[in-house]
Structure formats: structure tokens, C-alpha cells
Amino acid sequence: MLKKRYIKRMYIEEAICDKCGSKMNHTGMVLSSWPEQYPYQCTNPECDGEEYFTGDSSPGRIKFEFEEE
């Protein structure tokens, strides 16, 4: 049987620097740990903000909220 689920909201989470509030970009590297870690660096040239995200918690993925039935 197929059942429809309606999307209430669709969004993307972005990485924001805790030090200055600027956007963070992925460095292009993946650390060989388990779970894998993705380093992000602050886009503000005057800030040295850096953060590591793991697997499913990394920013930039499309997420969905569904309507309740």
C-alpha cells in the first residue's frame, strides 16, 4: 500500500560561526575518523572560527518536516 505524506516545511541548515556570526564554508576535506568529520571554516577574514560536523549533522542537507495526520 502507498500512503501520501504531505510536506509542511522544507529547509536547509547553514553553518554560522559562534565567534563572529558569519557564514562558514566547508573546507573540502573529510577527516578519516569514525564517524567521518567535515571541517568548516569561517568566511570572515578577521576570524579564525573553525568547527567540525559529523555525518548526518553536517550543514547543507535538505531536511523535511511533515504534516501530522
**What is the model's pLDDT at position 69?**
62
**Cα 18 from Cα 20, distance rounded (Å):** 6
pLDDT in tens, 19-54: 999 999 999 999 998 989 999 999 999 999 999 999
User: Among 34, 37, 13, 16, which Cα is nearest to 25's?
Assistant: 16
Query: Cell 511533515 maps to which residue?
Result: 66
The H-or-E segment that residue 25 falls in is strand 24-26
Beta bridge partners of 62: 12
Mean pLDDT throughout 7-29?
95
pTM across the whole model: 0.77
